[in-house]
């Protein structure tokens, strides 16, 4: 149960306060205060071949209060720190937007010409979100663990029994509906799973269709969707079911570099959030399809094939440079894509009849093990 929340509210609070104290120590000794934060850029995202996940590298940036380029960010970091400390002390569950509003003050000062000017502690939520990520890296705590809420999109259904806040919930008994995955998956116990595998579909509408057809019942699986780029709740849920119940996870996306990348986010983590891969990466995820070679293997008619944009091609070239796309088969798939410049959507299988996807494509691919690991 490695990825379950194992830091209590008190632990978190102490950890955060400790950082404040360290800064104060510097100031007390009249040393310019600084924060060492690991750099969250692509260049400092490293591929860990042993664990097969993306991780943050060792490179740190020193955030100095008395450095003109860093001073504003330093101020924002300690401000955000104080906000999260306050929420933890009061037992609140703010959203990242709440934190933005909580911390937005106006600072008044006189400029070079003696003119009164106003500046906000942060202007846009982009600024405050960036700082939240910095604090995650700085503290080595995930935002969920710090009690921060966000908009969660994930849905799931299947023979899964969970327990949360004293309720026992059977996810195979949701009727035409489904279970909505919350942000704080750490607050859920997964009691039992009776399934052969987990199927994650990229698209919400496909999820609804398969759920209506009761695909998960017929094929004894857990059906999930993260609706495009998955949120952290969905990823963590998939990881936990897979690891706690030793199940393979199959991922079904559109056949284009953005679909491939969504798969890699589930499996390895994302570049922008590589610091949390250890707690979010679904290492047993496999790419079920739709692969570029599937377009030709399944002879998808030309009219359903979409010409790749220059942006798609650029994206594919980027993927080819990522260490986690270096397997022979991925290199072949991506090269094929770049050569053919063609992509398709999952729904293109409807050109063969409505049931082709659920009756033929998915079961056949799993049976023949025609997925990419």
Partner 1 sequence: MVVLSVLEERYESLSPSEFFYRNREIAGFSNPTRALYQTVRELVENSLDATELHKIPPDIKIIISIKEPPDLVSILVEDNGIGIPHEEVPFVFGRVFYGSKYVLRQSRGVFGLGIKMAVLYAQITTGKPIWIRTSTMNSKIIAEYRIKMDISRNMPIVISANFRKKRSKWHGTIVKLITKGNWTLARRRIEDYIRRTAMITPYADIYFKGPDVELIFKRNTRKMPTPPKVGKPHPYGIDLEMLRRLIEIHNRNITLRDFIMKCFEGVGEGIAHNFLEWARLNGDKKLKDLSTSEIENLLNKMKSYRGWRRPRALSLSPLGEDLLRKGIERILSPEYVVTVTRKTSSYSGNPFIVEVGLAWGGKIPMVRSPILYRFANKIPLLYDEGVDVARQVVDKIDWSLYRVKFPAPLAVIVHLCSTKVPFKGVGKEAIADVVEVEKEIENAIKEAARSLRKYLTLIERKRALIAKRITISKYIPEVARALAEVTGTSETKIAKKLSLILDRIMRTESKKRGDIDHE
163 binds a copy of itself (CB under 8 A): yes
Angle between helices 96-103 and 125-139 (to 10 degrees): 110
CB closer to a copy of itself, 153 vs 341 = 153
Element (H, E) at 221: strand 221-225
CB 104 within 8 A of CB 122: yes
CA distance 169 to 96: 28
User: Which residue from 10, 43, 58, 68 is in contact with partner 1, where contact means CB under 8 A?
Assistant: 68
116 binds partner 1 (CB under 8 A): no
Give 181's DSSP letter.
P
307 binds a copy of itself (CB under 8 A): no
Side-chain half-sphere exposure of 117, counting CA atoms within 13 A: 9
194 binds a copy of itself (CB under 8 A): no
- Residue 127 binds what, of partner 1, a copy of itself, none (CB under 5 to 8 Å, by partner type)? none
63 to 27, 107, 343: CA distances (angstroms) = 14, 21, 44
CB of 32 to partner 1, least distance (A): 6
115 binds partner 1 (CB under 8 A): no
- Residue 179 binds what, of a copy of itself, partner 1, none (CB under 5 to 8 Å, by partner type)? a copy of itself
Element (H, E) at 295: helix 292-297
Q: Which residues of 39-72 are buried (b: 16+ CB within 10 A; e: fewer)?
A: ebeeebbebbeeeebbbbbeeebebbbeeeebee
User: Which residue from 63, 65, 263, 282 is in contact with partner 1, where contact means CB under 8 A?
Assistant: 65
Task: Calculate the CA dihedral of residues 59, 63, 68, 72 and round it to 10 degrees.
Answer: 120
14 binds a copy of itself (CB under 8 A): no
95 binds a copy of itself (CB under 8 A): yes
Contacting positions for partner 1 (CB under 8 A): 16-17, 19-21, 23-24, 27-28, 30-33, 65-66, 68, 71-72, 74-75, 78-79, 81-82, 85-86, 105, 107, 109-112, 119, 121
Contacting positions for a copy of itself (CB under 8 A): 86-87, 90, 92-102, 104-106, 120, 149-153, 155, 162-169, 173-184, 187-188, 203-206, 208-209, 211-214, 227, 302-304, 345, 347-351, 354-355
């Amino acid at each position: 149960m490695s990825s379950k929340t194992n830091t209590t509210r008190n632990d978190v609070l102490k950890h955060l306060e400790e950082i404040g104290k360290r800064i104060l120590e510097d100031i007390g000794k009249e040393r310019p205060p600084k924060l060492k934060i690991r750099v969250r850029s692509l260049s400092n995202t490293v591929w860990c071949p042993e664990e097969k996940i993306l991780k943050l590298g060792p490179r740190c940036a020193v955030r100095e209060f008395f450095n003109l380029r860093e001073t504003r960010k330093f101020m924002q970091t300690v401000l955000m720190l104080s906000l999260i400390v306050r929420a933890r002390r009061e037992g609140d569950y703010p959203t990242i937007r709440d934190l933005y509003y909580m911390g937005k003050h106006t600072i008044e000062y006189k400029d070079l010409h003696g003119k009164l000017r106003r500046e906000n502690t942060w202007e846009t939520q982009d600024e405050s979100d960036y700082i939240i990520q910095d604090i995650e890296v700085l503290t080595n705590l995930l935002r969920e663990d710090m009690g921060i809420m966000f908009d969660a999109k994930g849905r799931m259904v299947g023979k899964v029994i969970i327990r949360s806040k004293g309720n026992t919930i059977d996810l195979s008994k949701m009727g035409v509906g489904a279970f909505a995955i919350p942000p704080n998956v750490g607050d859920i116990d997964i009691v039992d799973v009776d399934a052969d595998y987990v199927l994650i579909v990229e698209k919400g509408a496909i999820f609804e269709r398969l759920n209506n057809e009761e695909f998960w019942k017929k094929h004894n699986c857990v059906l999930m969707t993260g609706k495009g780029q998955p949120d952290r709740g969905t990823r963590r849920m998939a990881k936990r079911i897979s690891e706690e119940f030793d199940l393979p996870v199959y991922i079904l996306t559109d056949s284009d570099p953005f679909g491939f990348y969504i798969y890699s986010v589930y499996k390895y983590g994302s570049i922008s959030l590589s610091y949390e891969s250890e707690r979010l990466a679904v290492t047993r995820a496999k790419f079920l399809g739709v692969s570029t070679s599937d377009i030709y293997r399944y002879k998808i008619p030309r009219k359903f094939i979409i010409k790749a944009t220059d942006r798609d091609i650029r994206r594919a070239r980027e993927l080819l440079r990522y260490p986690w796309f270096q397997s022979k088969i991925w290199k072949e798939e991506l090269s094929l894509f770049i050569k053919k410049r063609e992509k398709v959507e999952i729904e293109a299988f409807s050109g063969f009849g409505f049931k082709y996807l659920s009756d033929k494509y998915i079961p056949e691919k799993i049976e023949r093990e025609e997925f990419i690991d």
